[in-house]
Structure 1
Amino acid sequence: MSLKTVVISQPYITLTQVLKEEGIIGTGGQAKWFLQENVVFVNHEAEQRRGRKLYPGDILEVLDQTFEIQKQV
């Protein structure tokens, strides 16, 4: 499983925003359904809140993909 990087310029990004930016879901409206049907881990803990704030250093695991949130420098 390769580690992909999500670079953010704000202090945080929501789980829904990451799922949209990475092409996992097409619209924010799909997030609720997606999170009910799929197991998503944030920092190795199951997460179902689509508004969960992800900060630099957080690790997101979804659909056999792993993402690390990083701050834009």
Structure 2
Amino acid sequence: MTRPAPQDVPVGSDSIRLSAFLKFAGILDSGGDAKEAIIDGYVTVNDEVERRRGRQLQLGDVVGFEGRAFRVQA
């Protein structure tokens, strides 16, 4: 199966918390939704399941959710 090309999401800084990124990028609507998706193991960072909502994302990290991919950009 072909993996989708990540969509670039400019965040305006060198890092951002995972839960904040999910809301900022419009992937999820609320902090509560982001928290649940992360804790339940539905979110990946660089192809690894990530269960820490406070995880600091760096430029170039790729977040996956429901078959879509989003890359953190400056």
TM-score of the pair, normalised by structure 1: 0.80
Partner of 1:50: 53
State the 1:16 CA deviation: 0.8
Partner of 2:66: 63
Equivalent position SS for 2:19: helix
What percentage of aligned pairs have identical amino acids? 35
Partner of residue 4 from structure 1, selected from 7, 12, 15? 7
- Displaced runs of 4 or more, over 6 A: none
Partner of residue 34 from structure 2, selected from 9, 31, 36? 31
Give unpaired runs (5+ residues) of structure 1: none
> Does 2:25 correspond to 1:22?
yes
TM-score of the pair, normalised by structure 2: 0.79
- Give me the CA root mean square deviation: 1.6
Alpha-carbon separation, structure 1, partners of 2:71 and 2:27: 15
Give unpaired runs (5+ residues) of structure 2: none
